[in-house]
Structure 1
Amino acid sequence: MRDSLSKSVQMAIEISTKSIERSAQHEAQRTEQKAKGELERQKLQNEKEAEEASKELLELQAVAAAVESTGQAKAEAQYNFTMKDKVLLNVRGTSFLPDNRLCSFRGRTHTTTFHTQFQSSLC
Protein backbone atom coordinates (compact mmCIF):
# COMPACT_ATOMS: atom_id res chain seq x y z
CA MET A 1 0.00 0.00 0.00
CA ARG A 2 2.80 2.31 0.76
CA ASP A 3 4.19 1.71 -2.69
CA SER A 4 0.82 2.50 -4.26
CA LEU A 5 0.49 5.69 -2.26
CA SER A 6 3.98 6.73 -3.24
CA LYS A 7 3.18 6.13 -6.93
CA SER A 8 -0.05 8.14 -6.61
CA VAL A 9 1.78 11.04 -4.99
CA GLN A 10 4.49 10.84 -7.64
CA MET A 11 1.87 10.88 -10.43
CA ALA A 12 0.04 13.80 -8.83
CA ILE A 13 3.31 15.75 -8.63
CA GLU A 14 4.11 14.97 -12.29
CA ILE A 15 0.62 15.97 -13.43
CA SER A 16 0.78 19.17 -11.41
CA THR A 17 4.29 19.93 -12.69
CA LYS A 18 3.28 19.33 -16.34
CA SER A 19 0.19 21.48 -15.86
CA ILE A 20 2.27 24.32 -14.43
CA GLU A 21 4.85 23.93 -17.25
CA ARG A 22 2.13 24.02 -19.92
CA SER A 23 0.50 27.03 -18.29
CA ALA A 24 3.86 28.83 -18.12
CA GLN A 25 4.63 27.88 -21.72
CA HIS A 26 1.21 29.13 -22.83
CA GLU A 27 1.72 32.42 -20.93
CA ALA A 28 5.19 32.81 -22.49
CA GLN A 29 3.76 32.27 -25.99
CA ARG A 30 0.95 34.74 -25.29
CA THR A 31 3.45 37.33 -24.00
CA GLU A 32 5.69 36.74 -27.04
CA GLN A 33 2.77 37.18 -29.46
CA LYS A 34 1.70 40.36 -27.67
CA ALA A 35 5.26 41.73 -27.85
CA LYS A 36 5.51 40.86 -31.56
CA GLY A 37 2.18 42.59 -32.19
CA GLU A 38 3.28 45.72 -30.33
CA LEU A 39 6.60 45.70 -32.15
CA GLU A 40 4.84 45.43 -35.52
CA ARG A 41 2.43 48.22 -34.55
CA GLN A 42 5.35 50.45 -33.50
CA LYS A 43 7.17 49.64 -36.75
CA LEU A 44 4.11 50.70 -38.77
CA GLN A 45 3.73 53.85 -36.67
CA ASN A 46 7.40 54.72 -37.25
CA GLU A 47 7.03 54.16 -41.00
CA LYS A 48 3.94 56.38 -41.04
CA GLU A 49 5.75 59.15 -39.16
CA ALA A 50 8.77 58.83 -41.46
CA GLU A 51 6.52 59.17 -44.52
CA GLU A 52 4.82 62.22 -43.02
CA ALA A 53 8.21 63.79 -42.22
CA SER A 54 9.43 63.01 -45.73
CA LYS A 55 6.29 64.57 -47.22
CA GLU A 56 6.73 67.68 -45.06
CA LEU A 57 10.39 67.91 -46.08
CA LEU A 58 9.47 67.72 -49.77
CA GLU A 59 6.78 70.38 -49.30
CA LEU A 60 9.23 72.68 -47.52
CA GLN A 61 11.85 72.09 -50.22
CA ALA A 62 9.26 72.99 -52.85
CA VAL A 63 8.35 76.18 -50.98
CA ALA A 64 12.03 77.06 -50.55
CA ALA A 65 12.67 76.47 -54.26
CA ALA A 66 9.66 78.63 -55.16
CA VAL A 67 10.83 81.42 -52.85
CA GLU A 68 14.35 81.17 -54.24
CA SER A 69 13.06 81.17 -57.80
CA THR A 70 10.77 84.12 -57.11
CA GLY A 71 13.58 86.03 -55.42
CA GLN A 72 15.95 85.27 -58.29
CA ALA A 73 13.35 86.28 -60.87
CA LYS A 74 12.60 89.50 -58.95
CA ALA A 75 16.30 90.31 -58.66
CA GLU A 76 16.84 89.66 -62.36
CA ALA A 77 13.78 91.71 -63.30
CA GLN A 78 14.92 94.59 -61.10
CA TYR A 79 18.43 94.38 -62.55
CA ASN A 80 17.08 94.25 -66.10
CA PHE A 81 14.74 97.18 -65.42
CA THR A 82 17.62 99.20 -63.95
CA MET A 83 19.84 98.33 -66.90
CA LYS A 84 17.03 99.31 -69.28
CA ASP A 85 16.76 102.70 -67.53
CA LYS A 86 20.52 103.20 -67.83
CA VAL A 87 20.49 102.28 -71.52
CA LEU A 88 17.50 104.53 -72.24
CA LEU A 89 19.07 107.39 -70.33
CA ASN A 90 22.38 106.96 -72.14
CA VAL A 91 20.54 106.92 -75.46
CA ARG A 92 18.79 110.14 -74.49
CA GLY A 93 22.09 111.82 -73.66
CA THR A 94 22.24 111.23 -69.93
CA SER A 95 25.02 109.38 -68.19
CA PHE A 96 25.74 108.15 -64.66
CA LEU A 97 28.30 109.73 -62.39
CA PRO A 98 30.48 107.39 -60.28
CA ASP A 99 28.08 107.67 -57.31
CA ASN A 100 25.13 106.58 -59.54
CA ARG A 101 23.72 110.10 -59.86
CA LEU A 102 22.53 110.95 -63.31
CA CYS A 103 24.22 113.71 -65.18
CA SER A 104 22.38 115.39 -67.99
CA PHE A 105 24.15 116.97 -70.88
CA ARG A 106 22.75 118.86 -73.89
CA GLY A 107 21.52 121.60 -71.60
CA ARG A 108 18.72 119.83 -69.72
CA THR A 109 17.85 121.72 -66.58
CA HIS A 110 15.08 119.64 -64.97
CA THR A 111 15.38 116.88 -62.36
CA THR A 112 13.52 113.59 -62.87
CA THR A 113 12.93 110.73 -60.42
CA PHE A 114 12.99 107.25 -61.93
CA HIS A 115 11.36 104.00 -60.76
CA THR A 116 14.75 102.66 -59.74
CA GLN A 117 16.82 103.78 -56.80
CA PHE A 118 18.67 106.29 -58.97
CA GLN A 119 17.73 109.94 -59.12
CA SER A 120 18.75 112.37 -61.78
CA SER A 121 20.44 115.61 -60.84
CA LEU A 122 22.23 118.41 -62.57
CA CYS A 123 25.98 118.13 -63.13
Structure 2
Amino acid sequence: MNRKGSYLLEVVVSITIITSFLLFIPMVNKSSCEVKKDYFIETLRSDIQYGLSYTMTHCTLINVYFISDQNYYVMVDGNLDRVLKRNYDNTFSLYASRIQITHGYVLKTVILSISCENTSYQIIINEKSGMIDESS
Protein backbone atom coordinates (compact mmCIF):
# COMPACT_ATOMS: atom_id res chain seq x y z
CA MET A 1 0.00 0.00 0.00
CA ASN A 2 2.80 2.40 0.85
CA ARG A 3 4.50 1.82 -2.54
CA LYS A 4 1.28 2.57 -4.42
CA GLY A 5 0.80 5.78 -2.47
CA SER A 6 4.36 6.89 -3.11
CA TYR A 7 4.04 6.05 -6.84
CA LEU A 8 0.83 8.10 -7.05
CA LEU A 9 2.55 11.00 -5.30
CA GLU A 10 5.47 10.86 -7.77
CA VAL A 11 3.08 10.91 -10.73
CA VAL A 12 1.14 13.87 -9.33
CA VAL A 13 4.34 15.82 -8.64
CA SER A 14 5.67 15.06 -12.15
CA ILE A 15 2.42 16.16 -13.78
CA THR A 16 2.42 19.36 -11.70
CA ILE A 17 5.98 20.20 -12.73
CA ILE A 18 5.32 19.51 -16.42
CA THR A 19 2.10 21.55 -16.36
CA SER A 20 3.83 24.51 -14.72
CA PHE A 21 6.54 24.46 -17.42
CA LEU A 22 3.92 24.33 -20.16
CA LEU A 23 2.15 27.33 -18.65
CA PHE A 24 5.39 29.26 -18.15
CA ILE A 25 6.94 28.79 -21.63
CA PRO A 26 4.40 30.96 -23.57
CA MET A 27 4.87 33.79 -21.06
CA VAL A 28 8.65 33.70 -21.56
CA ASN A 29 8.28 33.92 -25.35
CA LYS A 30 5.94 36.88 -25.12
CA SER A 31 8.16 38.72 -22.68
CA SER A 32 11.23 38.07 -24.84
CA CYS A 33 9.45 39.86 -27.71
CA GLU A 34 8.70 42.76 -25.35
CA VAL A 35 12.33 42.85 -24.25
CA LYS A 36 13.54 42.89 -27.86
CA LYS A 37 11.10 45.68 -28.73
CA ASP A 38 12.17 47.74 -25.72
CA TYR A 39 15.83 47.24 -26.62
CA PHE A 40 15.15 48.32 -30.21
CA ILE A 41 13.31 51.46 -29.05
CA GLU A 42 16.08 52.44 -26.63
CA THR A 43 18.71 51.92 -29.32
CA LEU A 44 16.72 53.92 -31.87
CA ARG A 45 16.12 56.67 -29.29
CA SER A 46 19.84 57.02 -28.61
CA ASP A 47 20.65 56.93 -32.33
CA ILE A 48 18.14 59.71 -33.03
CA GLN A 49 19.68 61.79 -30.24
CA TYR A 50 23.08 61.16 -31.79
CA GLY A 51 21.68 62.27 -35.17
CA LEU A 52 20.32 65.46 -33.61
CA SER A 53 23.74 66.26 -32.15
CA TYR A 54 25.51 65.31 -35.37
CA THR A 55 23.41 67.69 -37.48
CA MET A 56 24.15 70.58 -35.13
CA THR A 57 27.90 70.01 -35.06
CA HIS A 58 28.31 69.18 -38.77
CA CYS A 59 25.62 71.53 -40.20
CA THR A 60 24.21 68.82 -42.44
CA LEU A 61 21.03 66.88 -43.12
CA ILE A 62 20.72 63.32 -41.78
CA ASN A 63 18.43 60.66 -43.24
CA VAL A 64 17.68 57.42 -41.42
CA TYR A 65 16.64 54.67 -43.84
CA PHE A 66 15.08 51.41 -42.67
CA ILE A 67 16.10 48.41 -44.80
CA SER A 68 13.52 46.02 -43.40
CA ASP A 69 14.20 43.07 -45.71
CA GLN A 70 17.78 42.95 -44.38
CA ASN A 71 16.94 43.94 -40.78
CA TYR A 72 19.00 47.07 -40.36
CA TYR A 73 18.75 50.83 -40.53
CA VAL A 74 21.38 53.22 -41.71
CA MET A 75 22.01 56.88 -40.93
CA VAL A 76 23.38 58.83 -43.91
CA ASP A 77 24.50 62.46 -43.94
CA GLY A 78 23.96 65.05 -46.67
CA ASN A 79 27.08 63.92 -48.57
CA LEU A 80 25.71 60.35 -48.62
CA ASP A 81 28.38 59.25 -46.16
CA ARG A 82 27.21 56.56 -43.77
CA VAL A 83 27.21 57.86 -40.21
CA LEU A 84 26.09 54.59 -38.63
CA LYS A 85 24.49 51.27 -39.45
CA ARG A 86 22.49 49.35 -36.87
CA ASN A 87 21.16 45.80 -37.18
CA TYR A 88 17.98 44.83 -35.36
CA ASP A 89 16.41 41.51 -34.43
CA ASN A 90 15.31 39.35 -37.36
CA THR A 91 12.07 38.39 -35.60
CA PHE A 92 10.79 41.91 -36.26
CA SER A 93 8.79 42.98 -39.27
CA LEU A 94 9.31 46.71 -39.48
CA TYR A 95 7.52 49.19 -41.72
CA ALA A 96 8.68 52.78 -41.76
CA SER A 97 9.48 55.73 -43.91
CA ARG A 98 12.73 57.61 -43.54
CA ILE A 99 13.51 59.94 -40.68
CA GLN A 100 14.97 63.31 -41.67
CA ILE A 101 16.99 65.29 -39.15
CA THR A 102 18.47 68.74 -39.70
CA HIS A 103 19.81 71.54 -37.48
CA GLY A 104 19.03 69.58 -34.31
CA TYR A 105 15.41 68.62 -34.97
CA VAL A 106 13.33 66.01 -36.78
CA LEU A 107 11.62 67.49 -39.86
CA LYS A 108 8.32 65.58 -39.63
CA THR A 109 6.56 63.03 -37.46
CA VAL A 110 7.31 59.43 -38.48
CA ILE A 111 5.31 56.34 -37.53
CA LEU A 112 7.07 52.98 -37.37
CA SER A 113 5.04 49.78 -37.30
CA ILE A 114 6.68 46.76 -35.71
CA SER A 115 5.32 43.23 -35.69
CA CYS A 116 6.83 40.57 -33.48
CA GLU A 117 5.31 37.14 -32.89
CA ASN A 118 1.79 38.18 -33.95
CA THR A 119 1.89 41.34 -31.82
CA SER A 120 1.94 44.76 -33.46
CA TYR A 121 3.30 48.01 -32.06
CA GLN A 122 3.40 51.56 -33.32
CA ILE A 123 6.26 53.86 -32.51
CA ILE A 124 5.79 57.56 -33.14
CA ILE A 125 8.86 59.74 -33.59
CA ASN A 126 7.69 63.27 -32.94
CA GLU A 127 8.44 66.24 -35.15
CA LYS A 128 11.08 68.67 -33.91
CA SER A 129 12.06 66.95 -30.63
CA GLY A 130 12.53 63.41 -31.95
CA MET A 131 10.94 62.04 -28.79
CA ILE A 132 9.55 58.51 -29.16
CA ASP A 133 6.06 57.51 -28.06
CA GLU A 134 4.85 53.91 -28.00
CA SER A 135 1.43 52.44 -28.58
CA SER A 136 0.39 48.84 -29.05
TM bin, normalised by shorter chain, reads 0.3 to 0.5
Query: Which is richer in strand?
Result: 2
Instruction: Give 1 or 2 for the bigger CA radius of gyration.
Output: 1
Identify the structure with bigger relative contact order (alpha carbons < 8 Å, sequence gap 6+).
2
TM-score (norm 2): 0.37
Query: Which is richer in helix?
Result: 1
